[in-house]
Amino acid sequence: MRTWLVAEFAGEPELLAAARALRARGHADLDLHSGVPLHGAEEALGLRRSIVPRLALAGGLSGAVAGYLLQWWTVGVDFPINLGNRPPHSPPAFVPITFELGVLVAAGTIFLGLFALWGLPRLHHPVFEVEAFRSATIDGLWLSAGVEAEEADGVAAELERLGARRIERVPEEGEP
Amino acid sequence: MNPTPFAGGRRVVWSSAAVAVVGLGLTALGGRADPRQALFSYLVAFVDWLGTALGALVLLGALHASRARWPVVLRRFLETVPLTLPLFAALFVPIALGLRDLYPWVDPRGAELIRRVAHLRPYLNVPAFLARAGLYFAIWIAVAELLRRWSVAQDRSGALALTLRQRRLGAASLPLLALSLSFAAFDWMMSLDPRFHSTIFGVYWFAGSFLAAFAVLAIAAAVTRRSPGQFGHALNADHTHALGKFVLAFTAFWAYIAFSQFMLIWIANLPDEVPWYLVRAGGGWRAVGIGLAVGHFLVPFFVLLSRDLKRDPRRLARVAGWLLVAHWVDVWWVIMPRLHPGGPRPSWMDLTAFVGVGAAALAVLVLRMRGAAPIPVRDPYLEESLRYQPR
Q: What is the pLDDT of residue A165?
A: 85
For residue B365, pLDDT beyond 80: yes
Q: What is the pLDDT of residue B3?
A: 63
The verdict on residue A176 lying in a domain is no
The verdict on residue A140 lying in a domain is yes
A74 CA to centre of own chain: 38
**Residues in A touching B307 (Cβ below 8 Å):** 49, 53
The rounded distance, in Å, linking the Cα atoms of A152 and A165 is 17
Side chain identity at residue A112, one-letter code? L
- Percent with pLDDT over 70 in chain A: 96
pLDDT digits (tens, 9 = 90+) for B344-356: 999 999 999 999 9
The verdict on residue B2 lying in a domain is no
Domain enclosing residue A105, as ranges: 52-118
Same domain, A113 and A144: no
The rounded distance, in Å, linking the Cα atoms of A171 and A113 is 29
Q: Give which of B109, B101, B105, B125 is closest to B117, Cα–Cα.
A: B105
Q: What is the pLDDT of residue B309?
A: 94
For residue A90, pLDDT beyond 70: yes
Torsion of CA B295, B300, B302, B303, to 10 degrees: 130
Instruction: Kindly give the residue spans of alpha helices, DSSP state H, lying in chain A.
Output: 12-24, 41-45, 52-71, 91-118, 152-161
**Residues in B touching A39 (Cβ below 8 Å):** 389, 391
Question: Could you tell me which chain A residue has the CA closest to the CA of B390?
Answer: A39
Surface-to-core class of residue B132, CB atoms within 10 Å of its CB (0-12 exposed, 13-18 middle, 19+ buried): middle
Q: What is the pLDDT of residue A161?
A: 77
Q: Are B267 and A92 in contact (CB < 8 Å)?
A: yes
The verdict on residue B359 lying in a domain is yes
The verdict on residue A175 lying in a domain is no
First-last CA distance in chain B: 25
The region of weakest confidence among A94-98, A170-174, B268-272 is: A170-174
**Residues in B touching A41 (Cβ below 8 Å):** none
> In what side-by-side order are the strands of the sheet with A2-9?
A30-34, A141-148, A2-9, A166-170
The verdict on residue B3 lying in a domain is no
At A33, which helix (H) or strand (E)? strand A30-34
For residue A174, pLDDT beyond 50: no
Asked if B156 is an interface residue toward chain A (Cβ–Cβ < 8 A), one would say: no
The verdict on residue A67 lying in a domain is yes
pLDDT digits (tens, 9 = 90+) for B118-147: 888 899 999 999 999 999 999 999 999 999
Instruction: Kindly give the residue spans of alpha helices, DSSP state H, lying in A119-151.
Output: none
Q: What is the pLDDT of residue B1?
A: 53
Distance from CA of A141 to the nearest CA of B (A): 17
Same domain, A59 and A110: yes
Cα Rg of chain A (Å, integer): 25
As for how many domains chain B has, the answer is 1
Q: What share of residues in chain A are helix, strand, coil (percent, to 5)?
A: 55, 15, 30
A to B CB pairs, distance under 8 Å: 20
Asked if A26 is an interface residue toward chain B (Cβ–Cβ < 8 A), one would say: no
Q: What is the mean pLDDT of residues A109-117?
A: 92
Same domain, A100 and A133: no
A57: nearest CB among B263, B305, B391: B305
Q: Are A39 and B391 in contact (CB < 8 Å)?
A: yes
Domain enclosing residue B260, as ranges: 10-386
Q: Which of residues 111-170 of A touch B (CB under 8 A)?
A: none
**Residues in A touching B389 (Cβ below 8 Å):** 39
Q: What is the mean pLDDT of residues A41-69?
A: 90
CATH code, A41: 3.30.70
The verdict on residue B4 lying in a domain is no
The verdict on residue A104 lying in a domain is yes
A84: nearest CB among B259, B262, B267: B267
Q: Are B263 and A92 in contact (CB < 8 Å)?
A: yes
The rounded distance, in Å, linking the Cα atoms of B155 and B157 is 6
Same domain, A100 and A156: no
Q: What is the pLDDT of residue B123?
A: 92
Question: Could you tell me which chain A residue has the CA closest to the CA of B308?
Answer: A49
Side chain identity at residue B247, one-letter code? V
Asked if A97 is an interface residue toward chain B (Cβ–Cβ < 8 A), one would say: no
For residue B391, pLDDT beyond 70: no
- B18: number of Cβ within 10 Å: 12
Q: Are B263 and A57 in contact (CB < 8 Å)?
A: no
As for how many domains chain A has, the answer is 2
Q: What is the mean pLDDT of residues A43-59?
A: 88
In sign, the C-alpha dihedral spanning B151, B155, B157, B158 is: positive
Q: In sequence order, what are the beta bridge partners of A4? A: A146, A170
Question: Average model confidence (pLDDT) for chain B?
Answer: 93
What separation in angstroms does the CA of A79 have from each of A64, A86, A89, A162?
21, 14, 11, 71
Q: What is the pLDDT of residue A36?
A: 83
Q: What is the pLDDT of residue A176?
A: 38
Same domain, A14 and A62: no
Same domain, A16 and A61: no
Query: For B190, which DSSP code?
Result: G
B389: nearest CB among A39, A53, A93: A39
Q: What is the mean pLDDT of residues B214-242?
A: 91
Q: Which of A118, A138, A153 is where one domain is finished?
A: A118
Same domain, A89 and A110: yes
For residue A175, pLDDT beyond 50: no
Instruction: Indicate the pLDDT class of residue A6, thresholds 50, 70 and 90.
Output: confident
Cα Rg of chain B (Å, integer): 21
- Overall pTM > 0.95: no
The verdict on residue A79 lying in a domain is yes
- Percent with pLDDT over 90 in chain B: 79
Q: Are B263 and A93 in contact (CB < 8 Å)?
A: yes
Peptide bond into A121 cis (omega under 30): yes
Distance from CA of A35 to the nearest CA of B (A): 13
Q: What is the pLDDT of residue A173?
A: 59
pLDDT digits (tens, 9 = 90+) for B39-54: 999 999 999 999 999 9
The rounded distance, in Å, linking the Cα atoms of A78 and B173 is 54
The verdict on residue A75 lying in a domain is yes
Q: Give which of B204, B208, B189 is closest to B295, Cα–Cα.
A: B208
Q: Are A95 and B267 in contact (CB < 8 Å)?
A: no
Same domain, A31 and A61: no
**Residues in A touching B263 (Cβ below 8 Å):** 92-93, 95-96
Asked if B259 is an interface residue toward chain A (Cβ–Cβ < 8 A), one would say: yes
pLDDT digits (tens, 9 = 90+) for B202-217: 999 999 999 999 999 9
For residue A137, pLDDT beyond 90: no
Same domain, A58 and A87: yes
The verdict on residue B130 lying in a domain is yes
**Residues in A touching B269 (Cβ below 8 Å):** 84
**ipTM value:** 0.80
Same domain, A57 and A41: no
Q: Which of residues 58-87 of A touch B (CB under 8 A)?
A: 84, 86
Same domain, A93 and A137: no
Distance from CA of A64 to the nearest CA of B (A): 14
For residue B2, pLDDT beyond 60: no
Q: Which of residues 40-59 of A touch B (CB under 8 A)?
A: 49, 53, 57
Q: Which of A6-10, A115-119, B160-164 has the highest mean pLDDT?
A: B160-164
The verdict on residue B320 lying in a domain is yes
For residue A133, pLDDT beyond 90: no
The verdict on residue B72 lying in a domain is yes
Asked if B262 is an interface residue toward chain A (Cβ–Cβ < 8 A), one would say: yes
The region of weakest confidence among A92-106, B105-119, B156-170, B317-331 is: B105-119
For residue B58, pLDDT beyond 80: yes
Same domain, A82 and A114: yes
Q: What share of residues in chain B are helix, strand, coil (percent, to 5)?
A: 75, 0, 25
Q: What is the mean pLDDT of residues B309-322?
A: 95
